Structure 1
């Protein structure tokens, strides 16, 4: 920090990495609280010789700067006061005949950092220091195992605790989306060992969380769950009822991923596409941004915290919040491709099926949301949590209605392709496939069973209790038109008020197969 940057800091309204103290009569007593707070966070500057009066900062200087600097650094570099050695960067500035001292306190590698006793652990909140709560101290203690815990064996597990259905789905997904990966041809025992899903006779914590049975996960990790709530308002206080949908408990992280991504699809524009193999591909830049945030949340959650990862969908925003802080300052994560996952085993399992970045946190994909919606994504963190918020371009008038779009509380769970993922009870196959690679979701199947004559768009929407024309076209009607299953009665005037839709010969044949249970 040079003199210009120092003066610029003094004009800022609020900062969380900069603290001024007058130091009239030597080192102020509360300076140790700030040292602890900066060490437990992302680091920061302590500036001595500046007095704050309201919003005005006056350069008063310090007397005997050399002695003050020596006293301060001696305390930090000894083990008499602090729990760890602290090596500050020291700067000296001269303003006329006044001397200002600045010390950069680096973020500690081993936390918590406290003075005299553990209770004197402080954290930074906004531009102030606060004594850390018991849970925040525990979070800092768990961070000593950052990047290590997911590869450790969960000793209260055996190979029987693997959910065989989930493992089969995961391997099938890998074969579909990363067919060249050598893991695809490995026998199961080698596959499990090489991906660190198991360690000898036990599952690793990462393997257990990702592919284990729910009962086994809860036997080793208290109260395992990932919450998703849809809240009909901008806050709980405004919402009535408190929420309109809450995700049911799933078996493991792989099942949670698909269940959550399915709900998120209801809040983004979803154009329909077919790939070269005739497989329906569901993708959009908005969904990519939400998918990246979801995967990041699942990879970086502190699963040993009493708090739980959660997705909350309010009428004006979508929030992803997880226990466990980002490993680096958000500004640094945004401008570099550094990747320091809290749970490397889980991160690797997502990467091998191309659902996570090989490097970095995928923030570039997350920030595409801003281009697509003209809203700003917000990143927030503390010692104990991280949160990413996506503002919705338009306030959702009725989340309960949105939650019923696919009928029922669960709907079909798909991602990338129309591939069904079931719940804990086992796999569910709700799509209809033919030799020509036609893929239908449940609503399309139901529609074809009812469709006999020519019908208006409103008729078709009413059969499915749909109210959003755009999403009905994108998710239901357009795929049927593009696959030659349905056609317009006035194709040269697609927006005509007299437009009707009817099944083609191909569509009628398919409807007959559906009716006969084929």
Structure 2
């Protein structure tokens, strides 16, 4: 920090990585709270010799620089804190008065506290706050950041995987060809090659979370959950009725991602941008690709061992991706770096092999393109134990956001038949994507394909399938 940067900061009271304290010849008693807070968060500056007067600062200076420096560094290296700490020193002179500043980096070992665990502090806004028990536990879990998903689970094997999900995943990986040398090997060798299992054939936590089956997923990761909820209105407090859709409980992340991606596909515009050499329309999937990246990032960065749930909330005016677990590094550092540091490297790698996410730190840049493409904001909010990424939609007018209600209204008027909730869901999916399959409808709604077949027989007066099994589509007669 240069002298000019220091002066600039002294004109602004709202820095969350900058704390001033008046000190003449003794260190302030509350300085250790700030050291703990900066160490547990993203680091920051402690400036001695400056008074805060309301919303302004006044340079008061320090008298005994050497003593203050020795006392400060001596305490950092003593047993006052649970781990040895480091800091860098800078000296300044402003208006003939001496100022010293210590930069406290974010600690690799957390939580950092003095005396006892209850003296763990975090930075919130421009102040220090005592960490809650939940925040402390989150820091403790973060000590295995990037490691836990790679750990092997003793006495496990690929028989504990969902074989249908594994086959589907292998099909996607084969299509994109990033590990083509594994295309023809056995499932056992494939799983070893991509990190689903270790070299002894035992499942990794990442492999189990990604492709496991019940009861094994929940036996080894009881907190596993991938939630997705569509909520009418613009906020939970404004809900006039319950959610209109919630993803059924899934056995693993891969199956959850397949269902969620089908839902996300209906939320965004995919305008036609041309015709290819086969005479087929070419659509622009830019908006969808960003939401797909956000979902994959959420699943790769989630703290799957936290009692708090990852969840995607879809409102009429926005979509929110909420995650337990903080960022691995400050947001500004992530934005200006190609470094990729997912909480779950195995899961991140598997999504990349299936072409659902970027690599080398491009993911955040891709998310930031939302405003450029749509003209609507994208926000990232972080705390020490949570992240929320929000994409704003163009607000949908009341009465037109629920396609199912419109379908039911038209059908009731034209054929005098009331639809059940499940039938409304089927009609919604068909109206949004006439090329959808019975299997896809069953997966989204969370019932068997035979159940969908029975419902479609009931709906035969208002919807029928036209064309071949692979190239055909649904036609809604009265909608």
Name the TM tier (shorter chain). Answer: 0.7 to 0.9
Q: How many residues of Structure 1 are paired with residues of Structure 2 in the alignment? A: 444
| Change in CA separation of 1:84 and 1:399 when aligned onto 2, cut-off 3 Å | farther
Q: What residue number does 2:74 align with?
A: 74
Contact 2:400-2:406 within 8 A present in 1 as well: no
| Change in CA separation of 1:399 and 1:227 when aligned onto 2, cut-off 3 Å | farther
Q: Write the deviation string for residues 151-202 of structure 1: whole angstroms up to 9, x where unpaired.
A: 1122364422110110111111122233762221222111011111123353
Q: Write the deviation string for residues 358-379 of structure 1: whole angstroms up to 9, x where unpaired.
A: 2105122111111122222111
Q: What residue number does 2:118 align with?
A: 119
Q: What residue number does 1:439 align with?
A: 471
Supply the distance in 1 between the matched residues of 2:350 and 2:279 (Cα, whole angstroms): 27
Q: What residue number does 1:339 align with?
A: 340
Q: What residue number does 1:509 align with?
A: none
Alignment partner of 1:264 is 2:293: no
| Change in CA separation of 1:152 and 1:278 when aligned onto 2, cut-off 3 Å | farther
Equivalent residue of 2:474, what SS? helix
| Change in CA separation of 1:43 and 1:56 when aligned onto 2, cut-off 3 Å | same
| Change in CA separation of 1:418 and 1:348 when aligned onto 2, cut-off 3 Å | farther
Supply the distance in 1 between the matched residues of 2:280 and 2:303 (Cα, whole angstroms): 37
Contact 1:228-1:246 within 8 A present in 2 as well: yes
| Change in CA separation of 1:282 and 1:158 when aligned onto 2, cut-off 3 Å | farther
Between 1:187-196 and 1:394-403, the stretch displaced more is 394-403
Contact 1:154-1:202 within 8 A present in 2 as well: yes
Contact 1:211-1:252 within 8 A present in 2 as well: yes
Q: What residue number does 2:194 align with?
A: 195
Q: What residue number does 1:294 align with?
A: 295
| Change in CA separation of 1:274 and 1:340 when aligned onto 2, cut-off 3 Å | farther
Deviation at 1:398, TM superposition (A): 5.2
Contact 1:33-1:129 within 8 A present in 2 as well: yes
Q: Write the deviation string for residues 434-465 of structure 1: whole angstroms up to 9, x where unpaired.
A: 78x9634xxx4234xx4xxxxxxxxxxxx34x
Q: What residue number does 2:235 align with?
A: 235
Supply the distance in 1 between the matched residues of 2:336 and 2:310 (Cα, whole angstroms): 25
Supply the distance in 2 between the matched residues of 1:113 and 1:374 (Cα, whole angstroms): 42
**Superposed structure 1 runs of 4+ greater than 4 Å apart:** 272-283, 402-407, 417-422, 424-435
Equivalent residue of 1:202, what SS? coil
Q: What residue number does 1:312 align with?
A: 313
Q: What residue number does 1:321 align with?
A: 322
Q: What residue number does 1:105 align with?
A: 104
- Output aligned runs, 1:240-251, within 5 Å: 240-251=240-251
Between 1:9-18 and 1:111-120, the stretch displaced more is 9-18
Supply the distance in 2 between the matched residues of 1:181 and 1:153 (Cα, whole angstroms): 25
Supply the distance in 1 between the matched residues of 2:116 and 2:212 (Cα, whole angstroms): 40
Q: What residue number does 2:353 align with?
A: 352
Supply the distance in 1 between the matched residues of 2:219 and 2:278 (Cα, whole angstroms): 43
Q: What residue number does 2:133 align with?
A: 134
Give 5+ residue unaligned stretches, structure 2.
408-423, 454-463
Deviation at 1:433, TM superposition (A): 10
- Output aligned runs, 1:151-162, within 5 Å: 151-155=150-154, 157-162=156-161
Supply the distance in 2 between the matched residues of 1:403 and 1:12 (Cα, whole angstroms): 52
| Change in CA separation of 1:117 and 1:61 when aligned onto 2, cut-off 3 Å | same
Q: What residue number does 1:381 align with?
A: 382
Supply the distance in 2 between the matched residues of 1:280 and 1:235 (Cα, whole angstroms): 37
Supply the distance in 2 between the matched residues of 1:228 and 1:307 (Cα, whole angstroms): 14
| Change in CA separation of 1:226 and 1:330 when aligned onto 2, cut-off 3 Å | same
Q: Write the deviation string for residues 122-161 of structure 1: whole angstroms up to 9, x where unpaired.
A: 1111111111111111111111111111111223644221
Between 1:200-209 and 1:173-182, the stretch displaced more is 173-182
Contact 2:271-2:283 within 8 A present in 1 as well: yes
| Change in CA separation of 1:355 and 1:426 when aligned onto 2, cut-off 3 Å | farther
- Output aligned runs, 1:403-482, within 5 Å: 407-408=424-425, 411=429, 423=443, 439-440=471-472, 444-447=473-476, 450=477, 463-464=478-479
Q: What residue number does 2:26 align with?
A: 26
Deviation at 1:425, TM superposition (A): 6.9
| Change in CA separation of 1:187 and 1:158 when aligned onto 2, cut-off 3 Å | closer
Contact 1:230-1:399 within 8 A present in 2 as well: no
Equivalent residue of 1:394, what SS? coil
Equivalent residue of 1:445, what SS? strand
| Change in CA separation of 1:68 and 1:182 when aligned onto 2, cut-off 3 Å | same
Supply the distance in 2 between the matched residues of 1:398 and 1:36 (Cα, whole angstroms): 52
Contact 1:278-1:438 within 8 A present in 2 as well: no
| Change in CA separation of 1:292 and 1:215 when aligned onto 2, cut-off 3 Å | same
Q: What residue number does 2:212 align with?
A: 212
Deviation at 1:225, TM superposition (A): 1.4
Q: What residue number does 1:502 align with?
A: none
Contact 2:38-2:104 within 8 A present in 1 as well: yes
Q: What residue number does 2:5 align with?
A: 5
